Amino acid sequence: MGKRIFFLFFFSLAVIHLHAENDNNTVADSIAIEEITVNAFQYQKRLLETPGAISIIPADKISQASNKPINLLINQQAGIYMQSGTLNTNRLTIRGIGSRTPYSTNKIRAYFEGIPLTNGVGETSIEDLNLSMVSKIEIIKGPSSGYYGSGLGGTLLFEAEELTNETIKVSAGISSFETYTQAASVSLNNKQYHHSLHVNKLSSEGYRENNKTNRTNITYIGKLPTDNHEFNLIINHTGLKAFIPSSIDLETFKNTPSKAAGNWAETEGFEDYEKILAGFSVKSSWRKNRQSNISIFGNQYKNYELRPFNILHEESYYYGNRIIFEKKVKKENSTWSWNLGNESFFENYKWATFENVGQLQGEFLSENKENRNYINFFASSNIDFNEKLLLSFGANLNSTQYKYTDLLNDDNDTNGKHKFETIFSPRLALSYSLAKNQRVYANVSHGFSPPTLEETLLPGGRRNPDIKPETGWNFELGSRGTPFSGFYYDISAYYMSIKNLLVSRRVSEDEYMGINAGKSVHPGIEYLLRIDVWKNTNSFLKFSNSGTYSPAYFADFIDNGNNYTDNELTGTPRFSNNSSLGYSFRDKFHFTLQHEYTGKMPLRDDNSIYSEDYSLFNIHSSYKKNLGKIKLELIAGLYNLFDERYASMVLINANSFGGKAPRYYYPGLPRNYNLRLRINYSI
């Protein structure tokens, strides 16, 4: 069957190509990745010249995937792996960092238009972001040590769509498992102002039992430019109610993967939350090449979660500011730039648990609050010697503290402050031009990750005074460029050494504790190759291949009396590879065949159990039609073409409770489809 599909695919391309030879229309090639401007380290440079490992997801790729979960985009990038249990349960890892976090993304920072999406303990829910309003995603791999803090795994930067004309957009999509999406936006733009309002709604019955999801996003983006200043305002509201099927054991995974975990299905467990994010900034240009960017931001979050073992109420709000000053000096043979800044963050988090009495709220089990505060001071300097050699220096100074209060028990041993030692994280990088379109780069950087809430507490809610942040160094050497027309490469080799490894030890079905168990080492090679197979005035065929080889392991790891030194790191594959073949005809018809391979990975620290490797084939196509002021686009996709059975997310070191088998697996979706129609109207 597979050979037939590939034959039909290439035969169709050949037929279209022959027709294209006789057509005088011109095809618009996609923007070369290496030409995209990167803002990751604040100086605006082409990706080709940037001294660091960065993956770029451009607007056309985001547009293709806006009807699907974000993990389909993320997993096409070398060194990055996003596991997806459900639409609301995901874990993003970069170079193996964050692989041991149970149910969320941790140790990786994220920003939307400069506003932090990461909470006070380093957890991020990027799956809540409305992709239809995002124009570009930059992913910094490894610690950035400065402008965006020093997240140990890396940083994701989301840029909002910026339109130059006034438009109304509407779209509707349908996918497998009774999944429906509707989106609408209006943009009003001229020289005096830019306003846009985006509304997106998703509803899905889900592949599994107890898997229904409803999510609504409403976002306003406003911009008011003047001669020397630009005022920006962003307000985003997310409302979600998602039922939770949870993980399942091996027998259920093999025989009835659509089943939910028995206890979650019985109680019909779910989470129901609301988030409001707001940010206001002023960008200013001053005399003598001076600039400033001052922003304030805030977030409010409320959650009600029905669980088999209890009912959880959560409420938090955070606020903060970012203040950055910059200066550039142009000399005869070089350009110098400096920036100095501060990011301050203050979060108040309250949570309570109650008895689950027949799905109704019973007596208090616990009631707590925690204040989480951090302050980052950062500075960097960049020296560009006539675009031949770029030197970059950066540093971040962090002070973090938590204050924990048990509202049910007045216990001095439980309540109190926990202040971590001040952490200094430097970065040194350079980029050197080997030829006109080829460069080599190297960097050394330091990063850290604070403990999560569970890791700062002992069983019973008492403080864990001995817990420390994870810290680590990243050493990297890479090269990227276009040695000849139609060929682009980006290759890097890295070595990360992590100490004070944070381990979340599960002590009951709903209780974890954290320990610093030792060290891990993350060596690896990442690669990206892009080739123009053919290209003429009407069509082009492009091939790309990216992947990662990373034999990460525990260098010094003793947990609960067990020595796991030299074992493979859990929860991350040693090898992964992503290939795609994309065809475009007259910039109207696009077709992509994509293959994703993920290697096996250990599920326990003793390496006694591994997940199976898997291969996924996906097909994506789109057709565009212009009717004057109206632009139509029809998008279709078929995913997991050969109906591979695989685990799209795994739970590390799963325990068994009540004599039941441990539940390691979140089953991936079987063969599924999506269809989407977009209509853009220029006012």
142-167 per-position pLDDT tens digit: 887 677 877 888 999 998 887 667 89
Number of CB atoms found within 10 A of residue 19's CB = 12
Q: 12 CB contacts (<8 Å, ≥6 apart)?
A: none
For residues 481 and 48, what is the distance between their CA atoms, to the nearest angstrom?
A: 6
- With helix as H, strand as E and coil as C, how does 446-462 read? EEEECCCCHHHECCCCC
The CA-based diameter of the chain, rounded to the nearest angstrom, is 83
**What is the β-pairing status of strands 134-141 and 154-160?**
antiparallel
Mean pLDDT (the chain, rounded): 87
- Closest Cα partner for 641 from 594, 598, 599, 600? 594
Mean pLDDT, rounded, for 282-307 = 93
CA distance 100 to 604: 10
Least confident range from 58-72, 204-218, 476-490: namely: 58-72
Indicate if the alpha-carbon torsion angle 27, 30, 32, 38 is positive or negative. positive
Q: Which two tokens stand for residue 131?
A: 């992709």
pLDDT band at 509 (very low <50, low <70, confident <90, very high): low
Radius of gyration of the chain measured on its C-alpha atoms: 25
| Confidence category of residue 25, pLDDT binned at 50, 70, 90 | very low
* Contact status, residue 650 vs residue 620, Cβ threshold 8 Å: no
Amino acid present at 85? G
Model confidence at 567, pLDDT cuts 50, 70, 90, reads very high
Residue given tokens 């999801």 in the structure block: 213
CA distances from 62 to 74, 155, 675 (A): 10, 18, 15
CATH class of segment(s) 2-682: mainly beta
Token representation of residue 153? 């795994």
Identify the CA nearest to 110 among candidates 54, 156, 41.
156
As beta bridge partners, residue 499 has: 471
Q: What average pLDDT score do residues 512-521 get?
A: 80
Higher pLDDT, 121 or 613: 613
- pLDDT given for residue 28 in this prediction: 39
pLDDT tens per residue across span 40-78: 766 667 888 888 899 999 888 887 766 677 888 899 999
Q: Residue-wise over 480-491: b if at least 16 C-beta within 10 A, else e?
A: bbbeeeeebbbb
pLDDT of the residue at 436:
87
| Domain spans, the chain | 2-682
Distance, CA of 503 to CA of 99 (rounded, Å): 11
For residues 478 and 79, the answer to whether their CB atoms sit within 8 Å is no
SS (H, E, C) 375-389: EEEEEEEEEEECCCE
Pairing of strands 229-243, 213-225: antiparallel
Residues 6+ apart with CB under 8 A from 395: 145, 146, 378, 379, 380, 424, 425, 426, 427
Average pLDDT over residues 447-455: 81
Q: What is the DSSP letter of 662?
A: P
Q: Which of 241-245, 344-348, 411-415, 576-580 has the lowest mean pLDDT?
A: 411-415
Is the Cβ–Cβ distance between 149 and 155 less than 8 Å?
yes
Q: Tokens for 74?
A: 């993320």
Confidence (pLDDT) at 42: 65
Q: Where are the alpha helices (DSSP H) in 455-525?
A: none
Cα-flanking dihedrals φ and ψ of residue 34, to 5°? -65, -15
- The average pLDDT across 318-339 equals 91
Predicted confidence at residue 504, as pLDDT, reads 67
d(C-alpha 465, C-alpha 485), whole Å: 58
With tokens 């079987």, the residue in question is 670
Angle at 418 between CA 415 and CA 423, to 5 degrees: 175
Which among 217, 218, 206 is positioned nearest to 242, based on CA atoms?
Answer: 206
**Cα(582)–Cα(85) distance, rounded to whole angstroms?**
28
Pairing of strands 154-160, 108-112: parallel
Is a pLDDT exceeding 80 seen at residue 282? yes
Given the structure tokens 């910094």, which residue do they identify? 140
How many Cβ atoms sit within 10 Å of the Cβ of residue 352? 18
Q: Looking at residue 558, what is its pLDDT?
A: 83
Q: Which residue has the higher pLDDT, 253 or 103?
A: 253
Lowest mean pLDDT among 58-62, 229-233, 596-600: 58-62
What is the distance, to the nearest Å, from the Cα of residue 70 to the centroid of all Cα atoms in its chain?
A: 8
Res 412: pLDDT:
60
Q: Are 302 and 312 within 8 A, CB to CB?
A: no
Instruction: Look at residue 613 and tell me whether its pLDDT is greater than 90.
Output: yes
Q: How confident is the model at residue 625 (pLDDT cuts 50, 70, 90)?
A: very high
The answer to whether 560 and 505 have CB atoms below 8 angstroms apart is yes
Could you give the C-alpha distances from 333 to 305, 384, 387, 388, 596, in angstroms and in order? 61, 9, 9, 10, 46
Alpha-carbon gap, residue 92 to 100, rounded angstroms:
11
**Pair 639, 616: CB distance under 8 Å:** yes
Q: What is the distance between the alpha carbons of residues 427 and 416, in angstroms, rounded to a whole number? A: 34
> What's the predicted TM-score (pTM) here?
0.90
Distance CA(228)–CA(584), nearest Å, equals 42
